[in-house]
Amino acid sequence: MTIIASTLKPILVTGAAGFIGANICNALLGRHKAVVGVDNMNDYYDTGLKHHRLSQLQQSSMFQFRQIDLADSVAVNTLFTEHEFELVIHLAAQAGVRYSIENPNAYVQSNLLGFQHILEQCRVQQPAHLVFASSSSVYGNSRRAEFRETDPTDDPVSLYAATKKSNEVVGHSYAKLYGIPMTGLRFFTVYGPAGRPDMAYFSFTKAILAGEPIRVFNHGNLERDFTYIDDIVNGVLGVADLPPTELDIPHRILNLGNNQPISLTHFIATLESLLGREAVKEYIGMQPGDVIKTCANIDAAKALAGYTPSTSIEWGLARFVDWYLDYYGH
């Protein structure tokens, strides 16, 4: 079965104005696929950046955009009534660890209720594959050298992580009950041009250029499996074309990371070198809900879809810095 090659039905991408969603849409359009993009355009971060991403997608006649809040069951039902989707890539979610402590209701509405409404429509329509975004945050403060999909994930350290774990469990039940082919993808710290302003690489760049201090959590003793956006896009689309075929429970969870954790100190030093300025560093303790290290074991995604990330942190951050300087006119 070649899902992405199909031209008979459109592909639904939720969170289409978001960082990963917009890049997925762009890649699909580059393959001449019809795409229906959905986003609620909330103001969690600068909506101007979301409109910037959308404006590029809307240059294609193969792209349709619908501003919909997935927590609105009537709107989601109407969407699925108007279109029969071959593939559903569900990326819409309220992101951010710290914000889940400040505004938990936003996570309940988007990550839980919104996902439930997508599942219900997939139960009715039965697309060939539902691919949805999970997160490396489900592993909590694991002390393992690498995080494997079979590791325990029953000790989330934030509400955000708990909602993503819930998505995996509820998705499993729908796959079992209704035979919906489903894949959950645990993303590991995705970065790149036009990324999310609440992410460290983005806020650090802004602060360094302004000569303002950056907050270095846990006194710099953190490691992240930074994964460049192009590698993530290749992984998502590679997996999307290969729905699980198990007859009992067509459901799987896969890591999509870089398998090359980078220390926070090296990460900052790389940014300083690219920007030609030294950061003013404010060393502080751990932030609530954060984890010390992430590292993805990607053997399963590699075996299934040939997923092989190849972007170094130096090259990836250079592409981001180039975009940032151009976009903000520095």
CA distance 6 to 126: 16
Residue reference for tokens 């699925």: 80
Give the span between the Cα atoms of 134 and 132, in whole angstroms: 7
Distance separating the N- and C-terminal Cα atoms of the chain: 48
> How many degrees, rounded to 5, is the angle at CA 26 between CA 23 and CA 30?
140
Residue of 160, 174, 201, 228 marked active site: 160
> If residue 136 lies in a helix (H) or strand (E), which one and from where to where?
none
Residue 8 burial (C-beta neighbours within 10 Å; 0-12, 13-18, 19+)? exposed
Question: What is the rounded distance in angstroms from the CA atom of residue 165 to the CA atom of residue 153?
Answer: 7
Are 137 and 125 in contact, with CB atoms under 8 Å apart? no
Cβ neighbours, 10 Å, residue 165: 21
Contacts of 242 (CB under 8 A, 6+ apart): 304, 305
Q: Is 160 a catalytic residue?
A: yes
Q: How many CA atoms lie within 13 A of 295 on its CB side?
A: 14
SS (H, E, C) 6-74: CCCCCEEEECCCCHHHHHHHHHHHHCCCCEEEEECCCCCCCHHHHHHHHHHHCCCCCEEEEECCCCCHH
User: Quick one: tokens of 297?
Assistant: 């074991």
d(Cα 216, Cα 75) in Å, to the nearest integer? 42
What is the chain's Cα-based Rg?
19
Catalytic site positions: 160
